[in-house]
Chains A and B, each alone.
Chain A
Amino acid sequence: MHSKNKILLLLLALAIISAGLANSARAGSGWQGPPPPGTVDKNGFVWGPPVDMDAAEDVSNKYETDEDAKKYARPADAIEVILNSVQLDFVEAWPYINKDGRVMIPVRKIAEALQATVNWDQATKTVSFYRPAQKFQWGGFKDIERSELTVTLKIGEKSATVNGQVIDLDTQAELKNGRTLVPLRFVAENFNATVEWMGPVKTVNIDFFPAPYDN
């Protein structure tokens, strides 16, 4: 073989090797594994210790008990509620349609969904929702301004107050199996949510712009 050919072959081999190296470099991002706990990386993330897998309860081959099945059994008449495209989660108390044809929902769940705080007065059996005034730019483009709001409902009464003004209702807040349930549409619409009933699929669709978290 001529020396020129040998050089060409050598160059070709070098080219192939370097191309392979380049490809393998591209194949990974150079990840060296997670940094040690306590590290603050260049983007300001504080790395904590990894999660201890051995501290978990081992439920391998464990089957659900009757008690659990009862606790988590969704009643046949339960209504699905979708908040901003995500189905809400319920345990032990589920939304349902009451005798007035209104969807009732557990208090804590709707308050959480609407970013309201909630208070219960045992003496008067009154539940109160509160939201401070809000002004924010949602998603970086939509200006939203909401005034301070207090909504109260008394168990068994077909009326409510919205910032002190009495409003007549066609249904009432109620206690069911020890849980407080309130009319979903009334509460949600007062808190600037849009409520839609999808009858054929027995589902309530709630559309709501939440205020951003302050952190």
Chain B
Amino acid sequence: MRRLILLCLSLFLLIPFYISTARAEIICFGGDENRQHIVNQPVYPIVKYKWERNTGVSNSQPLIVDKSRTPDGQIRIYVQGGRYLWAFDPAGNSLWPNPPVINDKNTTSSYTTYHQTDGRLYSGTTGGSIVVHDQDGRQVPEAIVNIGNRVVSAPLVKDWQGQVIVIAGSDDGSVYVVANLTGKNKAVTRVPIGGVLTSSPAPIGNDGFIIGSDGSTGKVAGIYFADLFEIKNGAVRVKPNPRTRWVNSSIPAGIPASFAVDGDYVLFSHKKGGLYKLNKYNGEIAKGWPNTIAAYSSSTFTNYSPAVDDRYVYFPIKSLRGGNGAVMILNKNTGAKTAQINLNDKVTTAPLVLKQSGSLLVGQAKGWIGVYQIGTWKTIDAVKIVDPPDAPQDRRIPNGITAELSLSDNLLLIGGNYKDGSTTVGGVLTAFTVSSEPVDLFVQSLDPGVPPGQKAKPGATYTATATYKYREKQRPDDPASLLAPLPVVNVKAFRDNYAAVLKVDPDNPGEAAKTTVALSPGGAVTLKFRWTAPNATQTSVGARINMDPSQHGESNLANNIKSVVVPVDVPEEPLDLAAVRVDNINPVYTGNRYVADVFYRNTAAVSVESVLRFYVNDRKVGEKTIFVGANSQDSTQFNWEAPASTGAVKLKATINPDRIVKETNYNNNTATLRVNVQTPGTALCNEPGKSWTESYHLLVSHIYNNKGQHTGDESATKNVTYNESLDMTVTPKDDKGNAITGIKAGYGFYLNVVTTYTTDYETKVPKGLHGTAQAKGGIFPGAQEVYAIFPDGTKVFLEPAGSTQGHINTWQLPEQYRSAIGANSRKHYISENTPDGDYVITVVATDAGRNGLCITKKVILKVNGSMYDDTDTHLTG
């Protein structure tokens, strides 16, 4: 019951998000200038063909401009097609009777960009110009600049220092940067990076841009507007010596696709499948990158841009090793491969992430769009194909989706071209409606066949009835017909002999009935099934529909199962549950986290579900619902944290604490364990000096007889005492390397530790005849291990750093050590809540010299105030 309430509550909380109407325009190639190919709106991959318009051959991504930004207050669609710049309303009506001619050829090669600051449309033309149009279709006079034979990338339009800057790549190997295309003072320069500039520029915030070139090798350059232009007397002009800030020429193959900008990085691939992440400010390759897993073979080819969300980056590989396409999904932080989706055809678009529904759309050859579930990476088969059913036969299968997928405001727009033989002769813009609600399949009702209030008879067979339903659309503004019938829906019924909760998994042997039906929105199906009551006090029967999250794109699977507990008329057997014991390592250290094992037992002949509760010093820290089979023992684990103070702590586990299950004996329901809590420094050693004795054999004299003949030698053994000692200095330092004795709460410090080992070993070797005694040889090491213990019990091993001179070693916190997210390497931050007083750092150096010397030192930092007390604050955000 409690679960049901929680479920209802969570659904109630989720509903407002589903009906949110977040605005998200498609304003340029890739969605927005960061080209992440992400849809944040609540849309689900359930699509219905809406209309198509013949635009002429088009390689341009359709734009969808929000109604708040259009002259007529309606959503507008802009797209280059044939020689024209088209404008449509959401119903597909052409808004400009005479679409402006922006190309002198039949095909487009660039993408139009909508700029929010001035509400205008910037287009690159195959004639080699950048032209600007207002939303009424009029070209802005004199806002035209010639930059080559053909503009080959989507213009990036930025605002900088009160100037509108337009950046676009040309087929002459240069990227052109134009200031004030539509203003009074116009200036233009170019970046001669070489190669082909099909990769669209990516912004570095509002300060500059990144470009990539497609040649025999790839090159990426970062350029800042301040390095190109200067403003004098209100007029902008190109600097006398404009320069590029950085260039990375180490990309082994050309870059034909555009960058996705993700925070401070750009993600891209080269055409042979190498996957890259570069810091957009300095061009350095991010740690863990590049990933070359897709670049096995020179026949791998990729020329489409990646999509990126908050976890993954999705690289489309047009043709993997000469075969079909694939999508490589990488952890965007580490660069490690997470998954690979192998496609049925070649890729023809960048992937599009529907963030709220957790699905991925990928355009493929012959006009198909594959839809995949993010996480399981399975195909959502019910909505796999997008093929306009009402389109004329000769245009049913476009020869590939030729641009990018544009999705906003429940509109999915796709540009596609069609061929006559091998010649591309035309293009269509096709619109689909996309659902703003997910499919919801659920079990509407379940009648076990035993009247309420009655018990089933052991061994008797009953007929249960389950009804399964496909929920109708809830929002009146969306036509119910939007949801297409689902061709394959699995509905199942189950019987379970366990005591209370129905356990269902794909291999459940209790499956009583199963069928496959087609359901339409609002449709329902009823399934009857027979089950036999067991010789147990109770049993449960259940029904489920579509429990596979990869099927049908359901976001709510919680209502896909319903079960009913049916009491059975058998004499109740005595039940006895017992908490057997609690195991944990002993002793433990203050503030550290541990995992305790709890063992429990059921001595009854029937399985029982109950609750196991875990306490530390009688404070509840965990609770689990457990399921104990008949006459069996099992165990589970609980996480707990040792208290900050030393002493004994009591761990306690109680089974059936609320006595929900009736037992014959409650006295064995609790098990306890006492463990000792120590500070990590309790057993710290401190033996910084030691002496020992070495015995040397030496020749004292030769013995001769009376004839002067050598008859023997006299030798002796001498014992020599040697000493060794270990010393250590511990110095907390600030960022500038200055020693500090105090600190504010919330700040951090570095540790500089110097260990010095000294010994007089072999300095007192006794001297006899013929070079005796011989030195024993060997060198004893300085401290082998140094660690620091902070007041919260954290123990961190230091690593050698800096200079080593003889037995003097310098140690620091390790390079990998970060005491908090985003903290400096090697720096230990103290909590901003640390009270004023002593902050004691204990440092231990061990295993030095012949006798394993060790030394412990404590240094104290005086905490006085917190970071929030600073007066040295400034507006640098």
Contacts and interface: CB of A to CB of B under 8 A. Distances in A.
B340 interface: no
B264 A201 contact: no
B576 interface: no
B875 A64 contact: no
Which of A48, A105, A118 has the most B CB atoms < 10 Å from its CB?
A: A48
Interface stretch (B233-241, B426-434, B774-782): B233-241
B243 A55 contact: yes
B264 A46 contact: no
Interface stretch (B282-290, B497-505, B523-531): B282-290
Contacts of A48: 187-189, 228, 237-239, 242
A51 B34 contact: no
Contact of B33 (A67, A86, A108): A86
Given A53-B192, A213-B159, A85 B32 contact: yes
Interface in A17-38: 26, 28-29, 31, 33-34, 37
Contacts of A164: none
18 contacts: A28-B149, A46-B185, A63-B284, A64-B282, A68-B279, A70-B824, A82-B24, A82-B32, A85-B24, A87-B32, A89-B206, A93-B877, A106-B877, A108-B876, A201-B356, A203-B40, A205-B24, A207-B23
A92 to B, nearest CB: 8
Contact of B17 (A64, A178, A199): A199
A146 B17 CA distance: 32
Nearest to A64: B284
Contact of B142 (A37, A43, A138, A199): A43
Interface string A105-121: 11111001000001010
Contacts of A68: 279, 282, 284
A155 B869 CA distance: 12
A60 B146 contact: no
A125 B869 CA distance: 12
Contacts of B32: 82, 85-87
Contacts of A215: 162-163, 180, 183-185, 234-236
B347 to A, nearest CB: 25
Contact of B286 (A34, A64, A75): A64
B287 A26 contact: no
B584 to A, nearest CB: 31
Given A26-B105, A31-B146, A178-B870, 11 more contacts: A29-B104, A41-B145, A49-B242, A53-B247, A58-B246, A61-B250, A139-B69, A139-B134, A140-B135, A207-B23, A210-B116
A214 B520 CA distance: 57
B612 to A, nearest CB: 32
Interface of A: 26, 28-29, 31, 33-34, 37, 41, 43-53, 55-70, 72-76, 82, 84-87, 89-91, 93, 105-109, 112, 118, 120, 122, 125, 127, 138-142, 155, 175, 177-181, 196, 198-201, 203, 205, 207, 210, 212-215
B91 interface: no
B186 interface: yes
Contacts of B178: 45
Nearest to B126: A29
A73 B877 contact: no
Interface string B65-95: 0101101000000000000000000000000
B418 to A, nearest CB: 23
Contacts, number: 287
A63 B279 CA distance: 9
Name the residue in B184, B248, B818 with the highest tally of chain A Cβ atoms < 10 Å from its Cβ: B248
A51 B242 contact: yes
A180 B875 contact: yes
A174 to B, nearest CB: 8
Given A139-B71, A196-B23, A201-B356, A108 B162 contact: no
**Interchain residue pairs A-B with the least CB separation, the first 8:** A48-B238, A139-B119, A106-B877, A89-B205, A56-B244, A72-B264, A60-B250, A55-B243
B221 interface: yes
Given A55-B244, A64-B279, A50 B877 contact: no
Contact of B116 (A55, A85, A107): A85
Nearest to A59: B283
Contacts of A199: 17, 20
Contact of B243 (A34, A56, A201): A56
Interface in B604-663: none
Which of A57, A59, A90 is most buried by chain B, counting CB atoms within 10 A of its CB? Answer: A59
Contact of B128 (A29, A50, A76): A29
Contacts of B117: 210, 212-213
A107 B143 CA distance: 35
Contacts of A155: 873
A133 to B, nearest CB: 18
A179 B867 CA distance: 11
A112 B207 CA distance: 12
A91 B243 contact: no
A64 B285 contact: yes
Interface string B227-264: 01000001111111111111111100000000001011
Contacts of A29: 104, 127-129, 146, 149-150
B187 A55 contact: no
A76 B245 contact: no
